Amino acid sequence: MLLPCFRVKSENEIDWSSWYTSSCSVPQGSVHGPLVFFMYTTPLSTLISSCSLNHQLYADDTRLFVSFLPTHFDSSIDRLQNVPISSSRISFWMTANLLTCKSSKTEFLLIGLSKQLAKFSLNTSHFARNVGFTFDEHLIFSDQISSAITVFISFHVSVHTSIPKQLPLSPLPVFTPSLITATLYHNLPNSQITRLQQIQNSLARSVVKAPKSSHINPILRSLH
């Protein structure tokens, strides 16, 4: 196992301290932290891959996922559910490396069309968060738009009313659309697209300090 080593130097000292080998961790906020943690969890990634499952690791969050046709539902779900997290090499590795698989924080999300999901009687979550983004079972992102985007954008609308007093207008048109632009919103239902458009309209009006009753098309064109 490759152990991280550190040394320090005081502001008033010329020489560095002696090297110190850390046997269990790295200082919080250390520049070496992300790399060391990646090295630390690489064996877990290898173990999950041996189960023929796709997975994603982000910090201490681990996600398993599999894509399948409705006709292959039974075999695919069995393959996913039969990964012996609690009693396998994965559990053994986590215990040996002082990690815990918390069942209370484990969610099972099944994504599909309403007619497809209605055929199955499984105890699944209706939505789950993935790196700050809320995915729902139909991929229409209604919870994401309602809870995250709307609240976040409402804050920026209020902030924009004061920003132009201190900054030129030029940076704002670049910054504003980026707040709600995401490739995950591609092919959303028209109802959700309308909600996003209304949010962007509010942002655009706040940037140019236009009243709510002003026509939005000229404003959007002026902001590209």
What confidence score (pLDDT) does residue 86 get? 41
pLDDT of residue 202: 79
Neighbours of 205 (CB within 10 A): 19
pTM: 0.59
**Whether 104 contacts 120, CB under 8 Å:** no
Q: Do 193 and 208 form a contact (C-beta atoms < 8 A)?
A: no
Share the mean pLDDT of the chain. 76
Position 2 scores a pLDDT of 57
How many other CB atoms are there within 10 angstroms of residue 160's CB atom? 20
- Mean of the pLDDT values across residues 136-141? 87
SS (H, E, C) 105-168: HCCCECCCCHHHHCCCCCCCECEEEECCEEEECCCCCHHHHHHHHHHHHHHHHHHHCCHHHHCC
pLDDT tens across 195-216, in order? Answer: 888 878 877 887 777 888 888 8
- Give the pLDDT band (50/70/90) at residue 175: low
Asked whether residue 107 carries a pLDDT value surpassing 70, the answer given is: yes
Q: CA 76, CA 81: separation in Å to the nearest integer?
A: 9
Looking at residue 19, what DSSP letter applies?
P
- What digits encode the pLDDT tens for the residues 34-89? 777 777 788 888 888 877 778 888 777 788 888 888 788 888 777 776 665 544 67
Secondary element (H or E) of residue 33: helix 33-49
| Banded pLDDT at 151 (limits 50, 70, 90) | confident
The whole-number pLDDT of residue 177 equals 55
Encoded amino acid at 196, one letter = L
The whole-number pLDDT of residue 162 equals 63
Average pLDDT of the segment spanning 146-155: 72
Tell me the average pLDDT across 110-124. 82
For residue range 4-30, what is the model confidence (pLDDT) as tens digits?
677 877 777 778 888 887 776 666 677
Looking at beta carbons, which pairs linking 101-107 to residues 24 or more positions away fall under 8 Å?
A: none
The pLDDT value given to residue 87:
44
